[in-house]
Structures are given as C-alpha cells and as structure tokens.
A = this chain, B = another copy of it.
C-alpha cells in the first residue's frame, strides 16, 4: 500500500521539500544495495539532519503503519536496506558530522551517516583510528546496524565490541541513549549490543560513541604461499592456536590470487593459495620474533614461499589488492552478477569448510573465489552468474545453501559480517533454534506495528 498523500505531506513537512523526494531517480537509488537481491522501490526518501527529525518521521510512520527503512551508504551485501515493503527510506547520509573527538578518552561521537573512511582520515591527526573496516565505503551507522568487522576484527574486535553509547529512535519516535562512556560497566541490561547488529528492525541508530585505538607505530607483514588450500587453512588455524595475536590473517584462494596477479601491476604471486599475516605493535623486534614463529608454523605446514619484510608502500598496495578483489572478480565477468557467500566457523573447522567449498564448486563446474578473514573463521566466496540464466543461478543458490548449512552444522554461523538481511533469513531457525522465538518476541515488543525495516532478519 503506497503512503497516503496526507502522510506524505506530513513527512515532507518534517524535513522540508529539499530533503524529501518521491522522484523515481531517488527512489531507484534507494531500491537496492550491492547484493544480488531483487530491488524494490520505496514510496519516498527523506534526508533528516538530526535525531529530532528522525524521531518525528518515525512517529508519523508509526501512526500510519508506514514501513521505515534506514539507509546508510547502500553498500550491504545481503539486501539489508532494500525497502521490500515500500514506505519511507530514511537516508542518514546528511547526518554526517563528527560531533566530538575526546582523544584522552579514546572516544569519538559521530552521527550515523559519517563514512568510516572519512572518520579514520580525521582521526589520523590525533594518532587514533577505528579498527573495523568492511572494505566498502560504509557509514558508521550501517556498520553498527550490521555489526561489520572486516580484516582487523581478529585483534581489535567487531564494531559491536567498540560501542560505548548509542542514540536510538524507537518505533514510537521515543529517543533513548543506552550505554555509558566508561570502558567498563555492569549496570543494567546491555541494550547497546541488542540494537547493534539488529539491522534497523528494533530502532534507528542516529548517533554513536565509538571506542578508538591508538594507531600502532609499527606494522610487520608477510605473504605466504601454499601448495593447497588445506595446508594454508590448517596453518591459519595453528597460528591462532599458538597464542600469537596477529592484526590480520587472511586467506586468498588460488583463483583469487590469479586475479590479483592479472589486475595489479605490482604483484606476481605464485598461482597458489596465499596467506597474508600482519602484526601491529610498538616494537619492531618483538614483532619480528612473532613473525619468525609464524614462519616456523608455515614451514612445518609445507609453505612453498614466505615473503616477509614488506615495506609500508607495498603493504598498502597489498591491502588495496585485497580490498579490490571483489572488483577484480566483477571485471573478469562483464555482464554477470556476483552471489557473495559469507559464513564463519570455529577456527579448527576452517580446513573443512574450505575443502567443502572447493569440492562443491568443482563438482558443479562453478568458479567460486574463496577468500576471507580466515583468522576469525570467516570465509567469503563470490560466485558469478547471470540471474536470468535460471538453471545456473539455481546452482549458485544451491551451493550457497549447502555451504551455509554446512557451516552451521560445524557450530558456525549463517553470516560472519554481512548480516542477515534478506539472504540469510531462511537460516535463522536452523542456526538459532528456539532462541529465534525470543528474538521475535523482542522485535514485537519494540516494534508492535512492525514498521521498522519489515521483511528482514525473520
């Protein structure tokens, strides 16, 4: 049901005509994220500039039972912000102020629309940074809503672990500020971590106080090649087990390595599974000793090549290549679309899931680019296909399904960092069992009219 005119007028009245649109180009821009999920147009888009405006918008939508979907940068990979029931999209990108940097407390207050790359650029002059890095140009609000993590979660934690305080607009328009500015607390129920990762279905997060980290003065990286994915993933599992604390520990499958060689000028790796490992710290000698331990573990596992002593510039290029991998895959297959798999397992199960993924692809004749934040058990596998080629697309869907179900059977999760959105809804019961009933009850409690990002999570 489209938004009635009287409500459209009231909603527009909140933000004014310049920050409100029902024009098709704006609706189209807010109809899809970066996933393979089908787009759906909202009825209207509003660009509030304050928590107060968000509150007014949500209050009106609640009155009219109008679906409300919050929007960050639209970089999600599971359809998380697609307004599948139409209604109003609240685009938070104009709430992009860094409100206060309290360097002595290692904290920053931001509006939800701040892009995390802009935040880290600004924080650099204070010698600080916010560690989670989803790769894409996500907003902090989107990262909080999806509990984004990325390559450095293994050392610094995911977004959820670094939230001090939130400002949240509830379904009835009420504004709450759960959390504390203290590092430690045992006070009351942890609402921050209930709203974080809730993908907008419980409330709209408009401001966030994040805990920051000092930029480590020293980095030390190594790139290691292995003959097989099994050897590479076993090595990763053993590095974690050894008690070392790498800041990043990435796995890149053979096919993905081939694309890095092809699309970068700098690199010409052996066409074999790669492991990137990186340490952050204050003391180069200590880190070098840690890296030496890594070398021993790699060699015991049959590493064919161990390249350490990578300079600052080469390291930056290496991470660029890692981040651009998704783009390289798209460039390799013009006209095709990716179906990205995101799943995570306990670290000892990494070799199993990698082997399972490889076998599945081989069996079905599909090229799946396996890579991921393997040090935290998180595996991605984009597969390319034409959504209109129903037969092939069905095979991709089947592989996706089998891999996620296998991950859950290993004690893992349907999604390591992309969130549930549309794509992972079907696995919620398998993963959570009767805990799902409690989640649904909480949703119903906090959003009794079901207006907040409807059609998502469950």
Contacts and interface: CB of A to CB of B under 8 A. Distances in A.
A412 interface: yes
A161 interface: yes
B373 A184 contact: yes
Interface residues of A, number: 102
A359 interface: no
A157 B317 CA distance: 33
A391 to B, nearest CB: 30
B286 A283 contact: yes
A428 B244 contact: no
Interface string A126-161: 010000000000000000001111000110011011
Contact of A105 (B178, B187, B348): B348
A101 interface: no
A288 to B, nearest CB: 8
Interface stretch (A17-25, A322-330, A382-390, A439-447): A439-447
A1 interface: no
A331 interface: no
Contacts of A32: none
Interface stretch (A42-50, A234-242, A304-312): A234-242
A235 B355 CA distance: 51
Contacts of A427: 187
Contacts of A344: 180, 182-185
A183 B290 CA distance: 22
A350 B117 CA distance: 31
A35 to B, nearest CB: 14
A182 B412 contact: yes
A157 B349 CA distance: 25
A353 B289 CA distance: 41
Nearest to A128: B243
Interface stretch (A65-73, A83-91, A193-201): A193-201
A378 to B, nearest CB: 5
Contacts of A441: 445-446
B293 A286 contact: no
A302 interface: no
Contacts of A243: 127, 213-217, 282
Contacts of A105: 346-349
Given A215-B243, A240-B106, A184 B420 contact: no
18 contacts: A161-B161, A170-B438, A178-B438, A181-B410, A182-B416, A184-B344, A184-B376, A184-B377, A185-B415, A186-B416, A186-B419, A187-B420, A188-B197, A188-B420, A189-B439, A213-B243, A216-B243, A286-B289
Interface string A257-301: 000000000000000000000000111011101100100000000
Given A213-B243, A243-B216, A435-B191, A416 B346 contact: no
A412 B285 contact: no
Given A102-B348, A105-B346, A285-B286, A184 B378 contact: yes
B106 A187 contact: no
Contact of A438 (B146, B176, B283): B176
A184 B285 contact: no
Nearest to A161: B161
Contacts of A432: 178, 187-188
Interface string A13-38: 00000000000000000000000000
A190 interface: yes
Contacts of A127: 243
